[in-house]
Amino acid sequence: AGARSVATGAWVRQGAAQDPDGRAGASHLLEHVVFRGTERRSRRQIALALESVGGTLNAYTAREHTGFEARVLDRHLPEAVDVLADLVRHPLLREEDVDHEKEVVCEEIAAVEDTPDDLVFEMHGDGLWGGHPYGRPIMGSRETLAETSRNDLAELHGRAYTGANLVLAAAGAVEHDEFTELVVRGFGDMEPGEEVAAVNPPPRPARGTTAVSRGSAQVHVVLGHPTPGQSHPDRYPLLLLSAALGGGMSSRLFQRIREELALAYAVYSYQSFYRRAGVCGTYLGTRPGSGSAALDAVREVYGDLAREGLAGGELRRTKDQVKGEIVLSLESPAARLHRLAGFALVGEAFVPVDELTRRIDRVSEDDILRLAGEVMDPERQYILCLGPEGAEAAQADHQDWR
């Protein structure tokens, strides 16, 4: 049977990296406050609008955008688009609601502080990007929240939540003409406003190692490397390199760190692409006393890749893995929705799946070797170790990985 659900969303090109100076977390706080009530709906009516018909309504804040998303049965798409338009365009932003959500976000911050494998990424980003907006915590801090006023949020909403910064998309059981009609009805008379400027990356992200001592059952380690932005052609060899490095049970890191050495339960690679820069790297969690050995083993794997790249058979397998994962993921309407919006948010022309797989197939062994030498260069690493004896991991000898 064909899918009967629709995933739809509205995204604003305003995220944590564009928060006003001294108001880190403002975009995230605004995302919270809009759910407290609009000109047409109370907070309970917002909650019931789609849940009462079996749908879902969510929102999130990222580095360079804020997203509002819904999933419903196809016959309830009009209600979903109407709710999204109401949230984006007509929030009340009352003083008492701002104060209420500040308390909620403080609890959210506390939850991250109690989750070291989340906290280590936040601290790593802060250290890697320094005082640059890319390094700001998305939720801000208790101090910046206290400084953020209702007027700050109203000004941010008026400046950023405009037609020039809006992306609307739908995927699943939906007809283009029907969706267009609903969008025109809900958003067609929005003021265009001015586009929020993209953030320029810092000229030189941090390098070296930082240790943060903290009581926890494990030492949590993140190694990160700056990369080009989402639209750069190096994105495709980066995806392959990351998959071979730590993208599953067959990856080099998993096989070496977990299967051979038993130094970690969780070890994986990651990548995040922004409009004009990005970051890729590795996470692992290991027992106290093993941080140095685990880092040495990661360096060994990095060094092998930097020297040798991916040989023909491994490169072919990695291409098949990445292409298969992409195609399988797109069986979900939500995944197709995110892909549609992702291209639009960075101003990139949509790339059909067939063309995407062709670009992956065109990546050569030389592309991989060149990129591995760049992103695994020891002179470009920033490492953060968090946990008991975090300094022990950080003080591991920095051998020449190449």
Asked if 173 and 44 count as a contact pair (C-beta separation under 8 A), the reply is no
pLDDT of residue 391: 54
Q: What is the DSSP string of 272-303?
A: EE-SS-EEEEEEEEE-TT-HHHHHHHHHHHHH
β-strand pairing of 382-387 with 208-213: parallel
- Lookup: tokens for 392: 């022990």
Phi and psi torsions of 114, nearest 5°: -90, 0
pLDDT of residue 312: 78
Phi and psi torsions of 97, nearest 5°: -75, -35
Give the residue numbers marked as catalytic.
31
- What does DSSP assign to residue 168? E
The side-by-side arrangement of strands in the sheet containing 66-73 is 56-61, 66-73, 5-12, 166-172
pLDDT in 10s for each residue of the chain, 402 residues: 567 999 999 999 999 999 999 999 999 999 999 999 999 999 999 999 999 999 999 999 999 999 999 999 999 999 999 999 999 999 999 999 999 999 999 999 999 999 999 999 999 999 999 889 999 999 999 999 999 999 999 999 999 999 999 999 999 999 999 999 999 999 999 999 999 999 998 888 899 999 999 999 999 999 999 999 999 999 999 999 999 999 999 999 999 999 999 999 999 999 999 999 999 999 999 999 999 999 999 999 999 999 999 987 999 999 999 999 999 999 899 999 999 999 999 999 999 999 999 999 999 999 999 999 998 877 778 999 999 965 555 555 444 444
**Distance (Å, whole) CA 72 – CA 50:** 7
Identify the residue whose tokens are 């998959």: 243
pLDDT of residue 377: 79
Phi and psi torsions of 222, nearest 5°: -125, 125
- Lookup: tokens for 374: 């760049």
Residues 6+ apart with CB under 8 A from 111: none
**Distance (Å, whole) CA 349 – CA 178:** 23
Identify the residue whose tokens are 């944590």: 16
Which residue from 56, 46, 47, 61 is spatially nearest to 11, judged by alpha carbons? 61
All structural domains of the chain: 5-187 (3.30.830.10), 208-394 (3.30.830.10)
**Distance (Å, whole) CA 282 – CA 385:** 12
**Distance (Å, whole) CA 363 – CA 117:** 33
Which residue from 67, 85, 87 is spatially nearest to 77, judged by alpha carbons? 85
Asked if 318 and 237 count as a contact pair (C-beta separation under 8 A), the reply is no
Cβ atoms within 10 Å of 71's Cβ, excluding its own? 23
